[in-house]
Amino acid sequence: MSDHASGNASNETNATGGIGRLPEALSPEATASLLRRINKLNELGIALSSERDTNRLLENILLGAKELTNADAGTIYSATDHQTLKFEIIRTDSLNIAMGGTTGVAINFPELPLYRNGQPNLAMVAAYCVLKDTTVNIPDAYEAEGFDFSGTRAFDKNTGYRSTSFLTVPLKNHENEIIGVLQLINAKDPADGRIKRFTKEDQQLAESLASQAAIALTNQKLISDLKQLFESFIQSIATAIDEKSPYTGGHCHRVPVLAEMLGRAASDSDVGELKAFTLSDEDLYELKIAAWLHDCGKVVTPTEVVDKATKLETIFDRVHMVDVRFEVLKRDAQIRALERKLQASGGGDSTFNQEVDATLEKELQQIDDDRAFIRESNIGGEFMSDQRQERVRTIGRQRWVGPKGEEEDFLTENEVYNLNIARGTINKEERQIINNHVVATIKMLEAIPFPKHMTRVPEMAGGHHETLIGTGYPKGLTKDQMSVQARIMAIADVFEALTARDRPYKPGKTLSQSLQILGFMKKDQHIDPDLFQVFIDQEIYMRYAEEYLGPEQIDEVNLDKIPGYLPPARREAPVTGS
């Protein structure tokens, strides 16, 4: 049916008709018909310029060309980078054939080669159209010279079809490069439906539409290429941030997954305030971009702060320096014991020596106990009591002879300060440095001239550490000051951080542990209650876990034990009075 069916042919000249000029005098009926077709051409041009979906665009081009020329069938090919023509869309009305485009029906025909064995493939009409850069208008394929339509005849024999007139037009972009081919088959007489040749007027209209279609397709490709470039650049930034720290690797890639899952579920939800919330495809894309960029400000955060696995870690873990001091203390204790033995009767009193050894053993044991305690304190935990903090200070006040040969405190003021961090491994100043990544994120994103449909990206990305009651950072926003998308970002960021297995200060939490913490955050008004409800109702946590969590983290979740969560069955139960 299409040129694909024509097979190989002899290389002869084509049977093209010239574009020609319109007749000088037309009947009133013909004039009215031509005006209607020109108006339709204008309508199609406007429609093509506004279409953003490539499949629909191709479909509109072919259907519009068929309508303009009253053709029964048609095909659109795209030119590939490897010198072939690829079938994009096929339509044959009388046989109810619809493939490609928005139909979902795949076209399994092989691509048409423009060259065979290094020679131009002038046998196929569509290839000839490209190679010669010309329109080919064939009145009757069964009588045409220069092309072998044996494949077409075989198709006709199998289907009962009669492929007669062919109009094949190249699609050229603004740089005069051929990007595809429009092929129309079997023009029908509007009066009686008989198959006729494509007229000069048909050819002119088809060529005009082809010109507009090529511009629309080129614009579509430029937009698609720019979008792909933009996304690739964003993902490169996210990858750079993840690669900067082996302990947060993957965070910037996983948060968008969670954000998109929750965004789609929230858009379809009728829970609470979400009944009036919907996200279009553009809105979801904006949310996804914000999620990719939510931590871009971490490019300014020092690695030694982000990667601080222990309290004394900077460029390296300073606990090893403290270990050396403990060894010095042990050495000094041993030296003092030896000196006492030598000073007492030449060292011959066994009872005295035993007393010295016993004292030394106690000193060494105390030193080892203190070292073990300091090592344990260096590991960040959930809570450090006042008594343990006081012991750190006591150890720190011990005196030892330092590298300069002078006595000094065993621990520096900075070491005592860091070892007494009550929770985790980050001190107040370092926490401020880390928190500043959100300020940097907002500054960076506000400096980017986002297109109109993405202007809310800075707000969404910059709100993932805010709470509903103004206790978050960096702006201390409340619920009414945050978009739903920003609140989605907050849950996605927290849940990823809780379950992440690559953090230096903790193992990845299980599902039940993570949902319990989310529940407490919901009760404390740190995360949106409706989004929290949807997150659990739609089992987004499980869909995410199946792909990104380890088997040991996916434990049994008891919904009744999640703080602040009410299962749907209990939610819908009638409330009875006492």
* Average pLDDT rounded to a whole number, residues 557-564: 92
- pLDDT at res. 424: 87
- pLDDT at res. 19: 39
Residue 55, judged by CB atoms within 10 A of its CB (0-12, 13-18, 19+), counts as: middle
Distance between CA 564 and CA 578 in Å, rounded? 23
- Given CA atoms 447, 452, 454, 460 in this order, what sign does their dihedral have? positive
* Average pLDDT rounded to a whole number, residues 224-252: 82
Q: Is the pLDDT of residue 105 over 70?
A: yes
Q: Is the pLDDT of residue 348 over 80?
A: no
- By C-alpha distance, which of 124, 132, 136 is closest to 16? 136
Per-residue model confidence as pLDDT tens digits over 14-67: 444 443 444 456 677 666 666 676 766 667 666 666 666 777 878 888 888 898
317 forms bridges with which residues in the sheet? 313
Q: With cut-offs at 50, 70 and 90, classify the pLDDT of residue 419.
A: very high
- pLDDT at res. 90: 94
- The answer to whether 167 and 198 have CB atoms below 8 angstroms apart is yes
Distance between CA 502 and CA 495 in Å, rounded? 14
Please provide the distance, in angstroms rounded to a whole number, between the alpha carbons at the two ends of the chain. Answer: 78
166 forms bridges with which residues in the sheet? 138, 185
Lowest-confidence pick of 4-18, 80-94, 391-405 = 4-18
Q: Is the pLDDT of residue 578 over 50?
A: no
Helix (H) or strand (E) holding 87: strand 84-92
- pLDDT at res. 5: 44
* Average pLDDT rounded to a whole number, residues 421-434: 90
Q: Is the pLDDT of residue 442 over 50?
A: yes
- pLDDT at res. 149: 82
574 upstream amide cis, omega within 30 of 0:
no
- By C-alpha distance, which of 23, 24, 68 is closest to 42? 68
Q: Name which residue leads in pLDDT, 58 or 453.
A: 453
Q: Is the pLDDT of residue 465 over 90?
A: yes
Per-residue model confidence as pLDDT tens digits over 490-526: 999 999 999 988 766 567 899 999 999 999 999 999 9
* Average pLDDT rounded to a whole number, residues 93-99: 94
- pLDDT at res. 308: 84
Lowest-confidence pick of 47-56, 64-73, 317-326, 372-381 = 47-56
Contacts for 234 with CB less than 8 Å, ≥ 6 apart: 289, 292, 293
What mean pLDDT value characterizes the chain? Answer: 86
